[in-house]
Structure 1
Amino acid sequence: MTIEIDDEQAIAPVRQRKNIHIDMDAMRPVEQRDNPGLRGKPVAVGGSRERGVVTAASYEARKFGVRSATPSVTAKRQCPDLIFVKPRFAVYKAISQQIREIFAEHTPIVEPLSLDEAYLDVFHECIIRSRPAQPSSQAPIPRRP
């Protein structure tokens, strides 16, 4: 995804920037969405082998100290009932693209950090929305309820 900054944004003081950080924590919810039997259970996305690591952990697993980047052996020791799910990066990538399309509806300046995390610069959007309406000879556009 390309990041473009127009002249108005390039000269705006940093203190006026309006940035939003979004972390969807998407891998684990996707697995629980696609396999409802995993809901409410300690789940880790990642490799379950001796040299594997946890990519994402459910809130139920986090209660036991299982986090992203926890070695799988350690995670299983911390949470004996932990269910490992093999990562499906093609699915996560497709969902990431859908999420980025939603971001693009709100700002052209998106800085992706990972498949499910990004910074959005909404400074320009805030200026546009805060400007008073310009007089127009056209009838007003009805707003959605």
Structure 2
Amino acid sequence: MSPRVPRVSDVMTRRPRSLPRESTLHEAARLMRDEGIGDVLVTAAGRLCGMVTDRDIVVRAVAEDWDARITSLGEVCTADLATVRPDDDAATAARLMRERAVRRLPVVDEKRRPVGIVSLGDLADCERLSVPTLEEIWRAPPNL
């Protein structure tokens, strides 16, 4: 009998950090600094509506001279997100990362509430995923 394919829930980071879309870039940047993370999930009424990364803050806001104390996450976040469910297999997450040229995927429940985040690093620990697949994701140009 072959070993079970790992599920997203086996490798994801639980309790992802999130902020409401009305929160400011300044609040997100401080949270990222304080928690040592590079992304914050953006929510509306507790449901996932986007994600903002440290790179988004720099490239989309700071470089454009936007005021981080008044610019909301809703103005800067990526809203068109690929997501996975906790019971999806890790290979599905890797495929989505490759197709969308992203290195992180939010993990949501049936009501689109964030329950985790799975990163390229999380998938690198999965022995059953092919190295070429992970290398393709890593080498993909950033998705702006």
Name the TM-score, length of structure 2 as normaliser.
Answer: 0.24
